[in-house]
Amino acid sequence: MSEVLSQSQIDALLNAVRSGEKDLEHPAEAEQEKKYRKYDFTSPRKFTKDRIKMLNGIFETYTRVVNSRLNALLRINCEVAVESVEEQRYYEFSNALAESDVLTLMDVEIKGRTEESPVILYLYTPMALSMIDRMLGGEGEMDDDLPMDYNYTDLELNLYETLVKNLISIMGGSWESYVSVDFSYSRTEVNPTLVQLLGPEETVVIVDMKLESAYGSGRLSVCLPGTVLTSIFGEISQGNPSRRTTGEDNSDQIFEKLRDSSLDVVAQLAETQLSLSDIYHLNIGDVVDLGRPKDAPVYLEIGGYNWFVGRIGTYKKNMAVKIDEVCYQAEQRSE
């Protein structure tokens, strides 16, 4: 949004040009001062860089899925990529909207609990109309000179809702590696400037994604309220303090899954070689010398590796192996 100059600022600018202090023909050479983003100490950042980086990775995954979905839906090659993930105040997001812009509200459900604040999705109007044109069988050419006060027709709004519902239905899948989050379509707001969706000073995280097709490019933005993100990060910290990599004991679940599995267990006393003629003449009662006593230890082989050492015996008149030692070390299992 451009800044409006006061009359005194305009006079000062004209005087600077007349005196030669400001060069309008070569502004890059005249002003070499590096610009920095202002930090507001009265409202410090709520989310750390690690959290913002996590959100960036989540929506990188989301863009890959969206890319495939749009290619199938519109029958055209689209490229979707994350441009920025920034923490802002809600008024910074809402002030950039026009009266004719359309916003989509999403309900968020975290482990069966629905959040009060909605997640907001914004799709650049010329890009949305281009996609609707493709859905109706048209070429999908974008009109970047679309009037600022353009309003969707009822038919376009219905198709717009169908389009965004496709984008919303796949959003929860990108969070699966962290926490179970479900996003669902709530409603569409055709004039967001007349509706107070969030408090102006409420902290939000804006995820800007760029959509490119053969006919132009546009912006897809997701506004995540701070209260929703706080709940999500709280569930992640509580359930997965180390992002499900260490310290989590799933042994009961793993054994429950493996309980009905079958494995071949082989007890081998020794190996020997016989000629084919000797094998042919073997009869009941013949003895094959293995070169080891009957009470020598044997290995119990599972999956091609030696896991246990035991001794051959009988149990209830059946051949059995009594386990004497477990091969915990990899060197023992490969012997």
Residue 206 is predicted with a pLDDT of 92
| Distance separating alpha carbons of residues 236 and 202, to the nearest angstrom | 22
| Helix 49-74 with 125-135: angle, nearest 10 deg | 30
**Residue 303: is its pLDDT beyond 80?**
no
Residue 2 is predicted with a pLDDT of 44
State the alpha helices, DSSP H only, in the chain: 7-19, 27-30, 49-74, 90-94, 125-135, 154-169, 226-239, 251-258, 276-280, 330-333
| Distance separating alpha carbons of residues 92 and 200, to the nearest angstrom | 8
**Residue 253: is its pLDDT beyond 70?**
yes
Residue ranges per domain, the chain? 49-239, 262-333
Torsion of CA 279, 282, 287, 291, to 10 degrees: -10
pTM over 0.75: no
Residue 239 is predicted with a pLDDT of 63
Residue 12 is predicted with a pLDDT of 74
Residue 5 is predicted with a pLDDT of 66
pLDDT digits (tens, 9 = 90+) for 80-134: 899 999 998 888 888 888 888 889 999 999 877 888 889 999 998 888 888 888 8
Residue 286 is predicted with a pLDDT of 87
Whether the CB-CB separation of 138 and 78 falls below 8 Å is answered with no
Whether the CB-CB separation of 182 and 112 falls below 8 Å is answered with no
Mean of per-residue pLDDT scores for the chain: 80
* Residues ≥6 apart with Cβ < 8 Å to 86: 52, 205, 206, 208
Ranges 119-128, 228-237, 274-283, 323-332: which has the least confidence: 323-332
Whether the CB-CB separation of 190 and 205 falls below 8 Å is answered with no
| Distance separating alpha carbons of residues 63 and 59, to the nearest angstrom | 6
Structure tokens at 120: 């907001």
Residue 305 is predicted with a pLDDT of 80
Residue 233 is predicted with a pLDDT of 87
Query: What is the number of other CB atoms lying within 10 angstroms of the CB of residue 4?
Result: 6
Edge-to-edge order in the sheet of strand 305-315: 265-268, 297-302, 305-315, 318-326
What is the percent of the chain where pLDDT is above 70? 83
**Residue 270: is its pLDDT beyond 60?**
yes
**CATH of the domain spanning 49-239, picked from 3.40.1550.10, 3.40.50.720, 3.80.10.10, 3.40.190.10:** 3.40.1550.10
Confidence band for 330, pLDDT divided at 50, 70 and 90: low
pLDDT digits (tens, 9 = 90+) for 44-70: 567 888 888 999 999 999 998 888 888
What is the CATH number that goes with domain 262-333? Answer: 2.30.330.10
